Amino acid sequence: MSSSNVNPLFGLGNNYELLIKNLISLESTKKNSYLDEKDSQQTRKSAIDSVGSKLTSLNKLLGDYQDLNSNQFSVLGATSSNEDAFAVSTSDILQQTGSYNIEIQQLAKFDNKVSAQFSRNGTDLSDAVGVPTGANELSFDLNVNGNNYTITVDSIAGKTNNEVLDAVATQINDVAGADAQASILRETSGTVRLSVRSRETGGDFQLSFSNINDADPVANLAIELGLTKADGTDNDTVIASGSTNGGRLYAANTLDAKFSLDGLQFTRSTNEIDDAITGLTLNLNKTTSGSETLTIDTNSEASVESVQNFIDTYNAAITDIRSKSFLNGESGDRGPLSRDRLFKDLTYTLRNAIIGNVIPEGVDPNDSAAVSALNIKNIFDIGLNANQDGTLYIDDESALKSALANNPDEVQGLFSTQRTTETGYTGLADRLSSVISDFVKSDGLINQLKTTIDDRIEQLNNRIQQQEEFLARREEQLREEFTQLEALSQQAQSQFQTLQSIGAGGYNTARYTQ
């Protein structure tokens, strides 16, 4: 019997895993459709999050413009008549123009105390202190910024002055490094001196040293260094230039900055002062021999930047909405929010709100002559314009600067003033915010849409899980069926081989008999 007559099921065991895989793949269509929809919903939610973030940023900015006491577009700036002596910057929105006479009598300093000067390789300190009979000889206290630090070095017997000072500096940095910094000074190649400096300027960081006397006659290290007096109290002597004694470099009463504004005296611990004039930061650089002038006046460049900031924030929202809600009729390309009509409508609503006239109270919006006579009634009157996509730009910077310089209150009023509310003509900020708030408030459209999407994603996850469970059962069922089929195949194969063997044996017997 020819082998071509073998049942085609024979040998199926080598292929049924591939068949099961292909069958499961064919039956996964529904699961895959759920996965695709889930991806689409997650992409949509991400797009809504992005738009919501841009709208929230815009609405926050609009809140600043809605404040009738806030002057966002008439930006004031401060200038110094002598920047070598002091610089000035705005730390907040200034409210009024003016000028101040400023005189700087004293700059804030870091407190600095030094030890006596010693021969670098000499042993003055180790000879004087020697091997202490108690712990107090090698310990002393450093007080700074209200904190007391005990400085203790190991035995200094046999060490050079340079080694002793290096050990003291290391201990000060390790123990009191948050408030003080110690280093070694070498005024000549053969001398050394310990320098201890406060971490911050001003009298609050004044350094003081003290030591504990005991009964034995051995001197305390701080006394030998010249940081304290013989009685253990702080050595607050201001040393003269060229002196080899220990003491402080500056008198304690010269550590704070001192200056006057219009004759009023101020004292601060730092040269960067942000609390003398509201909204200003002064940086004192050097003392003055007389009065200098600090002037607060309109800063046209900063005012234009403020307008540009509004434009950038507004455009970011409009651009993000359009990029996520577009639909290309020719190519069929679309954004994740193209089916959410309310976002596409939002761009038109905001565009109409921003370019519409804002009519002051007392002017009839239906009186075209009265409206035309207004200096500033819309964004076009201050040099702004709108592109076809709804974004804004500065079309005429000179007109904008002129409006900011000559009519700053009207520019501010265009955005912030509550206009004739009974006819709906409010300031642009209020008009825009009323639209955006419906989207970004806690129970607004953004959160409603995200909640709906989350609910749908949860439903899809449940259905995906159900499909995965079904497919797992289906795969198990198919495997059992193919296993049974394989067993039948093997049984048929065995029977076939038996029959084949019997047939071959009968043929040979008949031939032998003949």
- In this structure, of 9-18, 89-98, 343-352, the range with the lowest mean pLDDT score is 9-18
Which tokens in the block code for residue 456? 């749908």
Helix ranges restricted to H, 27-160: 29-66, 124-129
pLDDT band at 1 (very low <50, low <70, confident <90, very high): very low
**Confidence check: pLDDT of 425 > 60:** no
Which tokens in the block code for residue 467? 């499909």
- Extract the runs of DSSP E, i.e. beta strands, from 81-188: 86-90, 98-106, 110-114, 118-119, 139-144, 147-152, 180-185
Give mean pLDDT, residues 318-342. Answer: 88
CB 382 within 8 A of CB 403: yes
Q: What local confidence, expressed as pLDDT, does residue 90 receive?
A: 77
In this predicted model, which residue has the larger pLDDT, 283 or 90?
283
Distance, CA of 186 to CA of 120 (rounded, Å):
8
- What type of residue sits at position 218? V
Which tokens in the block code for residue 440? 């970004």
CB 117 within 8 A of CB 207: no
Q: What local confidence, expressed as pLDDT, does residue 2 receive?
A: 42
Q: What percent of the chain has pLDDT over 70?
A: 88
**Chain centroid to CA 492: how far?**
75
Number of H-type helices and E-type strands within the chain:
12, 18
Q: What local confidence, expressed as pLDDT, does residue 506 receive?
A: 56
In this predicted model, which residue has the larger pLDDT, 357 or 361?
357
**Confidence check: pLDDT of 433 > 80:** yes
Identify the helix (H) or strand (E) that includes residue 261. strand 257-261
In this predicted model, which residue has the larger pLDDT, 240 or 509?
240
Q: What local confidence, expressed as pLDDT, does residue 420 receive?
A: 46
For residue 106, give every residue at least 6 positions away whose Cβ sits within 8 Å of its Cβ, in sequence order, or none. 254, 256, 257, 258, 259, 287
**Confidence check: pLDDT of 44 > 80:** yes
- In this structure, of 112-116, 320-324, 452-456, 473-477, the range with the lowest mean pLDDT score is 473-477
Q: How far is CA 506 from CA 2, 137, 202, 501, 509, in A?
A: 17, 121, 121, 9, 5
pLDDT band at 370 (very low <50, low <70, confident <90, very high): confident
Q: What local confidence, expressed as pLDDT, does residue 474 receive?
A: 87
Neighbours of 400 (CB within 10 A): 23
CB 409 within 8 A of CB 73: no
- In this structure, of 19-28, 55-64, 266-275, 437-446, the range with the lowest mean pLDDT score is 19-28
Q: What local confidence, expressed as pLDDT, does residue 496 receive?
A: 80
Q: Is the dihedral of CA 282, 283, 284, 286 positive or negative?
A: negative
Give mean pLDDT, residues 461-466. Answer: 93
- In this structure, of 34-43, 320-329, 341-350, 425-434, the range with the lowest mean pLDDT score is 425-434
Instruction: Choose among 87, 86, 88, 91: nearest CA to 103.
Output: 86
Distance, CA of 360 to CA of 85 (rounded, Å):
47
Q: What local confidence, expressed as pLDDT, does residue 174 receive?
A: 97
Q: What local confidence, expressed as pLDDT, does residue 213 receive?
A: 65
The SS3 assignment for 265 reads strand
Distance, CA of 246 to CA of 472 (rounded, Å):
87
Q: What local confidence, expressed as pLDDT, does residue 489 receive?
A: 74
pLDDT band at 95 (very low <50, low <70, confident <90, very high): low
pLDDT band at 76 (very low <50, low <70, confident <90, very high): confident
Q: What local confidence, expressed as pLDDT, does residue 266 receive?
A: 97
The SS3 assignment for 228 reads strand
Q: Which residue has the tokens 């009839």?
A: 364
How crowded is the C-beta side of 45, counted as CA atoms within 13 Å?
Answer: 16
**Strand 139-144 relative to strand 147-152: parallel, antiparallel, unpaired?**
antiparallel
pLDDT in tens, 113-168: 999 999 999 999 999 887 665 667 889 999 999 999 999 998 888 999 999 999 99
**Confidence check: pLDDT of 194 > 60:** yes
**Confidence check: pLDDT of 373 > 90:** no
CB 121 within 8 A of CB 162: yes
pLDDT, averaged across the chain: 86
Task: Please return the burial class of 510, using the count of CB atoms within 10 Å of its CB with bins 0-12, 13-18 and 19+.
Answer: exposed
In this predicted model, which residue has the larger pLDDT, 199 or 95?
199
In this predicted model, which residue has the larger pLDDT, 277 or 497?
277
Q: For residue 269, what is the DSSP state?
A: S
CB 238 within 8 A of CB 251: yes
